[in-house]
Amino acid sequence: MGPSQYINLQETGATVLHNAKLPLHKRLNRKVRDIRLGIRKWRGARARNRNDSTFYIAITGSAGKSTAAALLGHVLSGHAKTHSQVFSNTIRPIARSLYRQPRGTKWSVNELGMTEQGSIGQMAKLVRPQCAIVTTVGLDHYKNFRCREAIAEEKGGLVEALRPGGLAILNADDENVVAMRNRTSEKVVTFGRSNSADYFATDISTTMASGLSLTLKGPSTDLKIRTHFTGEHFWVSITAAAVAALELGIDQKMVQQRMASFQPAWDRCHPFHTPDGPTFLVDTCKAPLYSLDLAFSTLASAQGTKKIVVGQLADHPGNSKMAARKARRLAEARADELIFVGHSGKRLGLSDRELASGRYSLFERIKELACYLKETATEDDVILLKSASILHLERVAMAWTTHVRCWKERCGKDGSCMKCGRYGLSYSVHRGILPEKICRVIANRLNEQEQNTADGVMVRH
């Protein structure tokens, strides 16, 4: 079949002519993007159909899917040629990944993230996985779905899309996830912390120094796993990836070794040590209200003065004031000092006496926060940065080891500043459009010419 299977040209033309809510040039641009997406999907499906020897794995979930996908890809790459599509998890990068997948790939690991109703089903239909993994169902998509049941209904579309003879791996501790077993007639394997699951994790322990370890028990399995993750909540991703690898025939010893060698993403609650400065826990990808305490609890094993920086909150019922005050209550139980940056601080209702106590600090701008920590933070401090990605709060930690000159509050760019690569120049210079390589060259020359600039903040001791 040709691209017409993925592009309804008649419908596209009719929409352009009759949708009068947008100017004509915007309607035409939108339809051009739709056509390009249709072609990309067709190319992805064609490549998938030609790769008969490739085993396709798809992973979704409200939390833990990126880590599980990256970890599973790392484990499988020790066995055979593996292609992983992680972090960029919408239909366009998924389709592109399928047709750019190298020849001879044995394992294809794909992370599927949902954006709107029908998005998971659309991607699952494109990937057509032989193995489907669902980690959790939370309220990360509250704005669009409003309840866990609606989110579970959407994510369950992945399980329904399994090929004949496929395998579903489900979290037995999440009732909305384990209920998805009723949406497929293929084999289902469960994991959790209760011994009622097919595989269950016990003896879970975590410290900032040694990372997270657990024992995985199941059919003919009693496996001690050690990792570099910080935070007990990562057991879900670790267990899901380990169960998938074992069920796909990977040797237990290889699973153990590959998990021990995996380096977590630096902005997923992983310790970021600075020379002669504090240790940061950077968790700035997302900040749904319901899971804040999971991140805050990573400070439990930390030694020294514990500080929590809260930025932009997301995906919560009620108004922003209620969300900010709940975040404050949760943080008070975990940290010695609470710092709020951006609009959240205005909604806390702190009294003058509380502000004068020294336990609370409020900042309008991220650069002001960075300067404050430069002046006050010590080697004994452990600072958790928690925010939705829109605020790019990771710059506060980055500024301790490199020149950061881009302090735009909301630049509109997706992903971390490290991925963007333009942080070495002021936003007024790169405007989000100057190519990353050119930005790095100019920034390096500036760094050579001056040790400190009025535009930038670099920690020097």
> Same domain, yes or no, for 246 and 272?
no
Contacts 24+ apart (CB under 8 A), 197-204: 197/172, 197/173, 198/172, 198/243, 199/239, 199/242, 199/243, 199/246, 201/235, 201/238, 201/239, 204/232, 204/235
3-state helix, strand, coil in the chain (%, to 5): 45, 20, 35
Q: Does 82 fall in a domain?
A: yes
Q: Residue-wise pLDDT tens for the chain (461 aa)?
A: 566 555 544 444 444 444 556 787 777 888 888 888 889 999 999 999 998 899 999 999 999 999 999 999 999 999 999 999 999 899 999 999 999 999 999 999 999 999 888 999 999 999 999 999 999 999 888 778 889 999 999 999 999 999 999 999 999 999 999 999 999 999 999 999 999 999 999 999 999 889 999 999 999 999 999 999 999 999 999 999 999 999 999 999 999 999 999 999 988 898 999 999 999 999 999 999 999 999 999 999 899 999 999 999 988 877 888 899 999 999 999 999 999 998 877 778 888 888 889 899 999 999 999 999 999 999 999 999 999 999 999 999 999 999 999 999 888 887 889 888 899 999 989 888 888 888 888 888 888 876 554 445 554 43
> Same domain, yes or no, for 297 and 327?
yes
Structure tokens at 403: 């020149």
> Same domain, yes or no, for 218 and 304?
no
Amino acid in position 401: T
Our count of domains for the chain comes to: 2
Q: Does 254 fall in a domain?
A: yes
Looking up tokens 């430069």 gives 374
| pLDDT for position 29 | 83
> Same domain, yes or no, for 144 and 186?
yes
User: In a 3-state reduction of DSSP, which class is residue 30?
Assistant: helix
| pLDDT for position 284 | 94
Q: What whole-number distance in Å separates Cα of residue 309 and Cα of residue 109? A: 34
Listed residues 351, 377, 402: the one ending a domain: 402
CATH code, domain carrying 350? 3.90.190.20
> Same domain, yes or no, for 225 and 305?
no
Q: Does 459 fall in a domain?
A: no
Q: Does 390 fall in a domain?
A: yes
The answer to whether the Cα torsion of 337, 338, 342, 343 is positive or negative is: negative
| pLDDT for position 25 | 73
Q: Does 431 fall in a domain?
A: no
- Virtual torsion, Cα 400, 402, 405, 410, nearest 10 deg: -70
> Same domain, yes or no, for 277 and 374?
yes
Q: Does 104 fall in a domain?
A: yes
> Same domain, yes or no, for 170 and 149?
yes
- Virtual torsion, Cα 200, 204, 206, 211, nearest 10 deg: -50
> Same domain, yes or no, for 150 and 202?
yes
Q: Does 8 fall in a domain?
A: no
> Same domain, yes or no, for 153 and 208?
yes
Show the domain range for 61: 51-261
> Same domain, yes or no, for 192 and 132?
yes
User: DSSP class of residue 404?
Assistant: B
> Same domain, yes or no, for 213 and 362?
no
Q: Does 414 fall in a domain?
A: no
> Same domain, yes or no, for 396 and 288?
yes
Listed residues 209, 244, 261: the one ending a domain: 261
User: In a 3-state reduction of DSSP, which class is residue 63?
Assistant: coil
CATH code, domain carrying 105? 3.40.1190.10
